[in-house]
Structure 1
Amino acid sequence: MIEIYTDGAASGDPGPSGAGIYIKKGSEQYEYQYFLGNLSNHEAEFWAVIKALEICKEQFPNEIVSVRSDSKLVVDVIEKEFTKNSKFLPLLEMVQRNAKDFPYFFIKWIPEKQNKNADKLARNAIQQRDK
C-alpha cells in the first residue's frame, strides 16, 4: 500500500499556489512539489491529490492507494462524489478518473499537524517560484 500525504497552499485567495506531495512506500519516501499558478487554496488542495494520483499511476501502478489530506472540504467532496461548486466539479471528475487506475483508492482527513511534510513542500513550491 502507498501512503500519500497531500497539501495545497495559496499566497492569497486566489494567489500563487503550490502542491506538496509526500509518499511513503514501506521504508521508502518520496517528495514532490509543484507550482500551480494562481488558484484558491481549495483548488490547490484538489490539484495536490490529482498530481499525487498521476505520480502513482506512473511510478506505482496497480498499488493500493491511501491519500491523506488536511482539507476537510476536499476529502468530503471526494468521499461523497458530489459538489455544487462549478470550480470544484472538473477537479472532482479528474480525481475520480485517476482513482479508477488503482485496485483500491482511499482518502482520509488528517489534522494539519500530521501533514507537516506535504505542507512544507507546498509552501516551498510557491517560494521557489517567487525567487
Structure 2
Amino acid sequence: MSDATAAAGPETGGEKTVTVVDIYTDGACSGNPGPGGWGAILRYGTVEKELCGGEPGTTNNRMELMAAIQALEALKRPVKVRLHTDSQYVKDGITKWIHGWKARGWQTADKKPVKNAELWKRLEAAKKPHEIEFHWVRGHAGHPENERADELARKGLKEARQRG
C-alpha cells in the first residue's frame, strides 16, 4: 500500500507482526476563541501523510482535539498508534478524565457540562479500533515533527481565516 493511512506494512515485535503508526498533532488559534487550525503527521516507516484543516470560530483546545480526531479517523484499519501531542489537555482528557466524565453523565466533578463533549466522544470512538499510546511532547522545543505539525496547524488557521 502506498500511504501512511493504510498503515502499509509490518513492524516486527517479538513473534508476531505489528503495524505501528506514529502520529504527531498540534492545534493553533489566533485569539481564543478565534480562527483556528489543526495539523497532523501520520508516519508508517518512511511513508508520511500530512493533514490540516481549520475553523473560523473555535478554541485552541478544540483544534488540539480535532488534530487527534482527524488523524485517527484517517487510519484505514486497526493498528498500534503512538500519538504525540503537546497538549496535556488532550493526553490527560482521553487517558484520565474521560472515565469520570462518562460515569457522571458527561459532567465535571463540580457538576458542570464537560466542555467539548462532542469532540471527546468523537475522539473516544476514533481511538476504539486501535491500540494507542499517548505521548506528551513539549511544544515549541525543537521537536521536528511537533514543529511540522504546528506549521500544518498554522496553515489550517490561515485557510480558515481566508474562508472566514
Give me the TM-score of the superposition, normalised by structure 2: 0.72
Task: In structure 2, give the amino acid aligned to 1:29.
Answer: E
Q: How many residues align?
A: 127
For the residues of structure 2 that align with 1:111 and 1:69, how far apart are their CA atoms? 8
Residue of structure 2 equivalent to 1:93: 121
For the residues of structure 1 that align with 2:97 and 2:127, how far apart are their CA atoms? 12
The CA RMSD measured in Å over matched residues stands at 1.5
State the 1:14 CA deviation: 0.5
For the residues of structure 1 that align with 2:73 and 2:55, how far apart are their CA atoms? 15
For the residues of structure 2 that align with 1:37 and 1:4, how far apart are their CA atoms? 25
State the 1:119 CA deviation: 0.4
For the residues of structure 2 that align with 1:128 and 1:92, how far apart are their CA atoms? 24
For the residues of structure 2 that align with 1:129 and 1:91, how far apart are their CA atoms? 19
Residue of structure 1 equivalent to 2:150: 119
State the 1:32 CA deviation: 1.0
For the residues of structure 2 that align with 1:111 and 1:30, how far apart are their CA atoms? 22
Which structure has the higher relative contact order (CA within 8 Å, separation 6+)?
A: 1
Alpha-carbon contact 2:39-2:151 (below 8 Å) kept: yes
For the residues of structure 2 that align with 1:73 and 1:93, how far apart are their CA atoms? 15
Give me the TM-score of the superposition, normalised by structure 1: 0.89
For the residues of structure 2 that align with 1:67 and 1:47, how far apart are their CA atoms? 13
Structure 1 stretches of at least 4 aligned residues deviating more than 6 Å after TM superposition: none
Task: In structure 2, give the amino acid aligned to 1:100.
Answer: K
Percent pairwise identity: 31
More deviation in 34-43 or 67-76?
34-43
State the 1:128 CA deviation: 2.8
Alpha-carbon contact 1:81-1:92 (below 8 Å) kept: no
Q: Secondary structure at the match of 2:78?
A: coil
Task: In structure 1, give the amino acid aligned to 2:136.
Answer: W
For the residues of structure 1 that align with 2:67 and 2:31, how far apart are their CA atoms? 17
Please identify the structure whose Cα radius of gyration is greater.
2
Alpha-carbon contact 2:55-2:160 (below 8 Å) kept: no
Q: Which runs of 5+ in 2 are unaligned?
A: 1-19, 102-107
Q: How does 1:13-24 map to 2 (within 5 A)?
A: 13-24=32-43
Residue of structure 2 equivalent to 1:80: 96
Task: In structure 2, give the amino acid aligned to 1:31.
Answer: E
